Amino acid sequence: MTAGKIIEVSAALIFHQGRLLITQRQAAAHLGGLWEFPGGKREPGESFEACLVREIHEELAVEIAVDELFEEVTHAYPEKTVHLKFFICRLLKGEPQAIGCAAFHWATKEELANFEFPAADLKLLEKLKTGTWF
């Protein structure tokens, strides 16, 4: 059973020098304190790719190029359902800054297990751990 309307979210898998960029959610946010892949909610009429470019610039003050879709996940939390699209992205310009997040970290494949992620990201994390993405 889904809770309410589905929230569409676009998330970036930004690989750089053998590491993957992860961000920590603000403490007051839904699932506060957990780590995630940066991105955000898609606005009406906005493509998932355009959403990602906008959100990454707002949250981290960097420019990215959005490449292929890596994974799609729909996950029902008790209070809402999210539909996530994870895209492989490239860092084009800038150094990340924690503007719209509590913190960020460039993680190796091995380090991912040391961070707590939302339940919606678990399928993606398994795919990342077993693949040759790093």
Tens digit of pLDDT for each residue in 16-28? 888 999 999 999 9
**pLDDT 10s digits, 37-69:** 999 999 999 999 999 999 999 999 999 999 999
What integer pLDDT is reported at residue 130 of this predicted model?
Answer: 84
Q: Please tell me the distance from the alpha carbon of residue 96 to that of residue 73, in angstroms, as a whole number.
A: 26
Instruction: Name 26's Cβ contacts closer than 8 Å, sequence gap at least 6.
Output: 32, 101, 102
SS (H, E, C) the chain: CCCCCEEEEEEEEEEECCEEEEEECCCCCCCCCCEECCEEECCCCCCHHHHHHHHHHHHHCCEEEEEEEEEEEEEECCCCEEEEEEEEEEEEECCCCCCCCCEEEEECCHHHHHCCCCHHHHHHHHHHHHCCCC
In the chain, where the domains are located: 6-130
Specify the pTM.
Answer: 0.91
Topology, domain 6-130: Nucleoside Triphosphate Pyrophosphohydrolase (3.90.79)
